[in-house]
Structure 1
Amino acid sequence: MKNNLSIFKEWKENYLLLIPVLGSLLISILQTEYYDDLLIALIILIFPLGLWTFSRLSKFKIILRMFSVFVFLHLIFFPFIYLWLIQEDQNSIKFDSIVSKENKTESLRQLDQQFKPVKISEKLEILRIIITDENNENLNKLLFIPYNYGVLMLNDFLVYPYAEMRPRENVHYLILCDKSGKFLFKMPYLNGHNDNNTIDITFMDFFKNSITILNKELGTYKKKKEIIDEKDDFWNYRKILPYSLNINSNSNMKPITKLANIVYAIHNFFVFGLILSIILRLISSHVSLKSRKKHD
C-alpha cells in the first residue's frame, strides 16, 4: 500500500508540472488552421497516457500498457501516417468513389460555412456601390467615437452606429441598411476604448479598406475550393480516422503504392499482434489466478 501511495504521489507531482505545458500546447493548437484535428488527437491521446500512468498502480500493468500502446498506434499514429501518405501522393491510397464523393461534398460544405462566400460577395457589391458616389460629402467625414452623425445616407444605403458593451471592451459597429431600413449587415470599426474619440480614417477609406479585406477573404476561399475541387485535397484526421479504425476489414480504403502497402501491412501486424498479446496475457493471468486459488 505504501508503495502504491508513493507512486501515486510521484505521478501527481509529475503531471501537475505538465499542466502549464499542456495549457500552452492547447493555446498553440487553437491558433492553428488544423486545430480541430489536433485537438481531437490530443483528447484521444489523454486516454492511452492515462492508462499507461494508471498501470503503475494496477496488478494488470502489462495488459494496460499493451492496450495503451494499441490505442495510440491505432487511433493516432497510423491515421496521421495515412494522412501524410495521401498529402504526399493522392494516388497512394484509393478510396471507394462513394466515400470520396461524400467527404469531398462535406469538405466543400464546411468551407462554405467557414467563409460564407455568398455573403462576402453581397457585401462587396454594396460597398462598391457606396464608394462610387464620390461627390457625397458624408464619405469624406471622419469616424467618431461616440458616433455622432446619426443616420447617414450613402448612395441609397443607410448607415448608423451600434455598440456592444462588454466587460473588458466595447465593440462598435456600422449598421448598413437599404433605403427602406431593411438590415443588410454590420461592420466592426473599433474594438475597445478610444481616448481621442476619433478614428483617423474617413468613411471612404474605411469602406475601401473593408473591400480589400473582403477581397482577400474571397481569394482565400477560392484557393481552398480549387484545392478541394481540382486536386481532391480534402482529407484530414477526422475524416480518415473512421476508415483507419476498420483497417482489418475495410474495402473502402485500399493501399496502392509500395510504401502505402508496407505501412498497411505494418499496421495490420501491430493490430493483430497487440490484440493477440492482450488476449494471451488475460488468459495467462486467469490461469495463474486459478492455480493460486487451488494452492490456497
Structure 2
Amino acid sequence: MRRQQAVAAWILALPFVALFLLFTAGPVLASLGMSFTDMRSTDVRGPLGVEFVGLQNYADLIGDPLFRKVTVNTLLYLLLGVPLTMAVALAVAVALNRITRLRGFFRVGYYLPVVTSIVAVSVVWKFLLRDRGGLLNVMLDWVGINGPGYLDSTTWALPSLVAMSVWRNFGTLMVVFLAGLQTVPREIIEAAEADGASAWGRFRYITLPMLRPTLLFGAVITSIGYLQFFEEAFVMTKGGPLDSTKSVTFFAYEQFGYGNYAYASAAAYLLFLAIVVLTFVQFRWLRDKD
C-alpha cells in the first residue's frame, strides 16, 4: 500500500518536477557551469567552441574597477536601507499595536506601496526628486532653500534611492512585526509595568528579545531584497551619475546585454555567495540564544 501511495504521489508530482528541472534547476546549473567558461553571445550557435577557463572570470571580476565600485554601491545600499527599513517598520508596528480603532485602515495604507508596481513607484519618485519642478524642491523653495538635483548628484543619488526603497518596503516588515508584537504575552508587560519598569525598559528588555525570531526573518528577507536592487536604479538613474547607483545586479544585466554571458554569470554567483554569507551571519547573530 505504501509503495502504491508513493508511486501515485510521484505521478502527481511529475509535471511539477519536470517543469522545475527544465525551467529552474536546469538554467541555474547551466549558468553555474557557464561562469567557468569563456562563453559569449557569439558562441550560442557554436557552443562546442566554448573553452573552460576555471576561476578566471571570478579573478577578473575581483580586479575589475567597475565591479568593485558597484559592489561598494550595493553594500552602501544594504547598510543604509536595511536598518532604516527595519527601524521605521518596527516604530510603525509599535504605534499600530497601541491602537485598536482604524488599525486595519492604517495597516492597509502602509502596505499599499508594497503591492504597487516598482516601476510606477520609481517613475513617481523620479518626478518628485527632479531638480526643477520636483515637489520636494518646490516645497524647500517655499522656505528659501535651494534643493539639489538629487538624482543628478553623485552624493545624493544613492541616498535618494534608499529613501524611496525604505518608503516602499517598510510595509511588509510592518505587518510581520505587528504580528510578532501581538504574540508577546500581555501579562509579562503588565507585570513589568507594575514593578516600575519604564516604557523603554519594557520594550528593550521584554519586547525586543521576544521579537528576536521575527527580527531575524525581517532582516534576512530585507537584506536579500536590498542586495538584488535593480529596478529602482534602472528606472530612476540608469545607474548614474558616474555609476554611483549601479548595483551588482545592474552590472550583471549590462554584461549579459553586452554578450558577456560567462562574465555576467560569474557576477551573479558572487552575489549569490554574498547573500549566503550574509544570511549565515544574520542567523548566527539574531538566532535564539537559548
- Normalized per residue, the structure richer in strand is 1
* Bigger RCO (CA 8 Å, 6+ sep): 2
TM-score (norm 1): 0.28
TM-score (norm 2): 0.29
